[in-house]
Amino acid sequence: MIREIKITSVAILSLFAVIGCGSDNNHNDKSEQPVVLDNRYYTDMYHWNNSKGLNVTALGRGINMGNYLESPTYEGEWNNNLIIQASDFRNINQTGFSSVRIPVRWSAHTLTNDPNIIDDTFLSRVQEVVDQAIQEDLKVIINTHHFDELFYDDKDFDYQRSRLLKFWDQISKRFPISQYNQDQLIFEFLNEPHEDVGIKEWNSLISDLTNIVWHANSATQNNALGQRKVMVGPADWGGVSKLPYLELPKSSNPDNTIITVHFYEPFQFTHQGASWVDGADTWIGTRWLATESQQKVLIDYLDLIDKWNAEPGHGFEINIGEFGVYSQYSAPEDQRAWTAFITREAEKRGYSWNYWEYSSGFGAYDPYAEQWRRALVEGLIPKNADSN
């Protein structure tokens, strides 16, 4: 998720031109109209509740620990000085989630005299958080988040590229498969590659990164049962339109690789009023009523993923690694409908998912009231199909 970068509305909307936003996103005459989503979407239509989706996917239903360890300089910077607690993972598990995605800004926590080496205190803190999540029986994804030097420092791209490889070498050594097995911990190499990390650069990086984990660190990342699962998505901010250009190493297969995409369609609805998006204040009041045309936009997006994954040599687990609604201005009933529609449609197709995010601007949980936001949690975690 983009947090600190000011984005122009023209630029961000162009990312989604492949599927469009649909005319039903106009909010001028919809303020009093009701949501029309079939109530079955708020029930466990595809029988995921008992296993939290783990009988179908490796990751099931998950949530992002956003705005913590990927903050610019310290963990509580973007979250009013809140830090991740073990009790958060207990809360997440007990509510019905099975996985957490932990965004990490490694590039901001390196040695002063050697920016290639992750500071051990910070690495130990990430390890502590991973351990806490696993202790609460959650699957864990750790990634490289907000590596802005790699994306925007084009004069020093090769150097920043080498830093990323060295980061994952250190991470591989800290999290051996003997202690963090391939079903517990997933490595996601880079969040939302974009700008200087275009299609060509990203495909090359994937090859080198998998080599670092699976081959250079084979002693720590392989065992008799398999090897470390990794997660990769397409270039251009993880958008589905670039999936056809994603090139995976020959050693990648459905047992060791999960494909992730990010989903914020329609952007004018999910990001209305977001201070970091230019022009988003003019979108305040945008509704998502689950009309037929609005649903079709999202179904078309998912169909593109299915089409790609049905190609020979694919058949990967698909993870919607980020999707969410900025909560400050969007109507709660619309949030509930949008999240329910996406999650049930994902579950129908056998996709795992991780909502963005736990307890900040898009958050499903209010850490001050110490309660889940009802509209969002009802959309994400449905009641049993036979419940009244």
- 45 vs 55: CA distance, rounded Å: 15
pLDDT one-digit tens code per residue, 315-336: 999 999 999 999 999 999 999 9
pLDDT tens for 3-21 read 444 444 334 444 444 444 4
Residue 38 confidence class, pLDDT cut points 50, 70, 90: very high
Helices (runs of H) and strands (runs of E) counted in the chain:
11, 16
Distance CA 218, CA 215 (A): 5
Vertex 287, ends 284 and 293: CA angle to 5°?
Answer: 140
210 closest CA partner among 91, 123, 8, 202: 202
Q: Of 248, 141, 153, nearest to 197 (Cα)?
A: 153
Q: By three-state DSSP, how is residue 99 classified?
A: strand
Q: Does domain 7-380 have CATH number 3.40.640.10?
A: no
Instruction: Assess contact for 113 and 158: CB atoms under 8 A.
Output: no
pLDDT value of residue 21: 40
Average pLDDT, the chain: 93
